[in-house]
Structure 1
Amino acid sequence: MISEMPNIDGLRPAVLAVLAAKREPVRLLDLLVMAADHVGLDEDMREETLASGGNRLRLRVSYACSSLTIADLLERPQRGFYRITDNGRAVAERHLEAYRERDLEEWPQWRSYQEELAERREHKASESEGAGGSGAGGSSPAPAAQSSDEDGQSLLERVRGGIDELNNAVETRLRARLQQASPQFFEKAVVELLKKMGYSGTNGRGRTVGGSGDGGIDGVIDQDALGLQKIYIQAKRYADGNAVQRPAIQQFFGALSGKGAGRGVFITTSTFTRGAREEAQRYGGQMVLIDGIRLTALMRHYGVAVQPLQDLEIYQIDEDFFEEDEELG
């Protein structure tokens, strides 16, 4: 038996070793036991809990599986099951004691994931600066000499920055899941988003229209009960590297004109070329473009396809409570 539980870096090789010995996908709950057996955890270690009440082993193995899946060393054929890939077997054959995030950089899928995280940070920082803020959940480095209040504020800013990083990771994984979903499911997801954003109004509704005869329209939002005000949607579930180009924007505008529509939203899981964005600008605000990064940021913000993991409570001294003492003094 070992003296302490391995960290996530130490559990990644264990997960790969266990799955390399299996031909069929392994359920996560079974993988927890197999990984614990592989590294020699005693019962007390297996039952360790976090301050939040969660199981420490499950959290670490789950994160190990998530990062390995992003790097394409594992795949998830169905919910809650994992299977090793050929790349994963190659790493397992190295019999490593630890496999760190910097080691995952050897895989292009992981590098792309990190690049997208960096892009999200830059995007949110520019939005925050434009609104007069200090960037994406961060601030300038604090000076060496600080009061206790400044120390607390600096720590709070770091906590917020950490939460932003976690949410950026969720948004990035969400975009990948949408790219793997069926076109029909993606169309329903974007209609649900616009409804959550309030575009269906109090008595309006949203629906998908997709199909071979959709005329370039994938969804419609009725903004009132009679459907007099409508927003038309084009949804393209595209892989990375397959950007929406100018002709697609022109075709969508043609479909809008055919409906006598004044407003349309073009949504994709990938990106828009410069020509596509310039074309949309020609239509005088009649068309809004939403790329994959903005889409998943909106989905996270409005709670579509995500759920809260944990609520954090941070306290400060209630100065009003001590006012009586000051009066007595």
Structure 2
Amino acid sequence: MPIPDFQSVMRPILSTVADGVPLALGELRERIASDFQLSEDERSERLPSGKQTVMNNRVGWGRTYLNKAGLLSIPTKGMVQITERGREALSTGPARITVSWLKQFPEFAAFHTSSPADSPPLILQGDPTEQATPDEQLAAAHQALTQSLAGDLLAQVRAASPTFFEQLVVDLMIAMGYGGSRKEAGQATQQTNDDGIDGIIKEDKLGLDVIYLQAKRWTNTVHRPEIDKFIGALTRQRARKGVFITTSDFSDGARNAAMSLDIKVVLIDGPELARLMVENNLGCSVRQVYEVRQLDSDYFVEY
């Protein structure tokens, strides 16, 4: 069974605590996951941030929304308990509790549309906000912006000169922690522009091992003969590691060739190149930072 969206778990949350006995949030999550017959993989699937499972996040937001609507109370830290309004919702409410239905309660309506006086509403109107939790909305927005940026970066790289592209490859390797200094890496690249190899870069700052580079600013797909040529060059150099970077893509034959020998060859295509540039702040900069804070319950513990 697919993981339910956070609206689909709200009525089951109320049903789980219908007896009026306070229930720990952890136990609530387990019971809801069991009610939906989720597999272990579904239970362990995580948000893009990796900090929380999808199911725990959705149950958590379901609890928050029900609490803001007055259907649930939080009597003590980490506990939930149904309210009289929650019991009424179970007896007279819809089979599926939604954000739209919760808006009939003034407390929830105020929470759902609240924002600073000089800012637009934090919760956008429309279908996406009623299917995804705020954490998922943030993750989706971040992913969309990142994908757009990656596309713009790749277009810029493809329009650059071959010389600039070779330097970009060096800058990227250094940004990822390889190559020692930029000067050393640049010199190594210039000294080895032959025999199917565009450059050599240190694997670490001490130079305990080296990585051989091949950079192709192409628009056409890279096929197996190019990879075979690169592997041959590595073999003649008695090299053990190589990185082949292109602005285009690799054919299946090329990818198979890179995995068929003892020599470790990593293939980086255009989309992966753009992703690594974003991840390492190469050719881009941080425009704005949003800090998401959470309640520090320990602060309120009285000794």
- TM-score range for the pair, normalised by the shorter chain length: 0.5 to 0.7
Determine whether 1:163 maps to 2:142: yes
TM-score where L is the length of structure 2? 0.55
Determine whether 1:291 maps to 2:269: yes
| Residue in 2 that maps onto 1:237 | 217
- Please give the per-residue CA displacement for 1:234-262, whole angstroms capped at 9, x wherever unaligned: 011112xx110000001111111222211
The amino acid that maps onto 2:169 is V
Quote the offset at 1:211 in angstroms.
Answer: 9.5
CA distance in 1, matches of 2:143, 2:209: 36
CA distance in 1, matches of 2:214, 2:182: 23
Task: Give the length in aligned residue pairs.
Answer: 194
CA distance in 2, matches of 1:157, 1:286: 37
CA distance in 1, matches of 2:276, 2:204: 23
TM-score where L is the length of structure 1? 0.51
Quote the offset at 1:142 in angstroms.
Answer: 5.1
The amino acid that maps onto 1:168 is Q
Percent sequence identity over matched residues? Answer: 36
Quote the offset at 1:284 in angstroms.
Answer: 2.6
Quote the offset at 1:293 in angstroms.
Answer: 1.1
The amino acid that maps onto 2:157 is L
Determine whether 1:173 maps to 2:89: no
Quote the offset at 1:185 in angstroms.
Answer: 0.8
Determine whether 1:146 maps to 2:62: yes
1:279 to 236, 243, 257: 257
| Residue in 2 that maps onto 1:189 | 168
SS at match of 2:169: helix
| Residue in 2 that maps onto 1:312 | 290
CA distance in 2, matches of 1:173, 1:308: 15
Quote the offset at 1:203 in angstroms.
Answer: 10
Quote the offset at 1:216 in angstroms.
Answer: 1.4
| Residue in 2 that maps onto 1:206 | 185
RMSD value, Cα: 3.5
CA distance in 1, matches of 2:228, 2:259: 11
CA distance in 1, matches of 2:191, 2:179: 22
Residues 224, 249 of structure 1: alpha-carbon distance in 2 compared, 3 angstrom cutoff:
same
Quote the offset at 1:321 in angstroms.
Answer: 2.8
The amino acid that maps onto 1:252 is F
Quote the offset at 1:149 in angstroms.
Answer: 6.8
CA distance in 2, matches of 1:198, 1:250: 27
CA distance in 1, matches of 2:285, 2:182: 26
Runs (4+) of structure 1 exceeding 4 A deviation are 135-143, 149-153, 201-204, 210-213, 224-228
CA distance in 1, matches of 2:179, 2:283: 19
Counterpart contact for 1:217–1:252, Cα < 8 Å: yes
Residues 283, 269 of structure 1: alpha-carbon distance in 2 compared, 3 angstrom cutoff:
same
Alignment of 1:1-329 (within 5 A): 133-134=45-46, 136=48, 139=54, 146-148=62-64, 154-200=133-179, 205-207=184-186, 209=189, 214-223=194-203, 227=207, 229-239=209-219, 242-324=220-302
Quote the offset at 1:227 in angstroms.
Answer: 4.8
Residues 238, 136 of structure 1: alpha-carbon distance in 2 compared, 3 angstrom cutoff:
farther
CA distance in 1, matches of 2:293, 2:247: 39
- Please give the per-residue CA displacement for 1:20-54, whole angstroms capped at 9, x wherever unaligned: xxxxxxxxxxxxxxxxxxxxxxxxxxxxxxxxxxx
SS at match of 1:288: strand
- Please give the per-residue CA displacement for 1:72-107, whole angstroms capped at 9, x wherever unaligned: xxxxxxxxxxxxxxxxxxxxxxxxxxxxxxxxxxxx
Counterpart contact for 2:240–2:263, Cα < 8 Å: no
The amino acid that maps onto 1:237 is R
SS at match of 1:146: helix
Counterpart contact for 1:270–1:291, Cα < 8 Å: yes
| Residue in 2 that maps onto 1:111 | none
SS at match of 1:159: helix
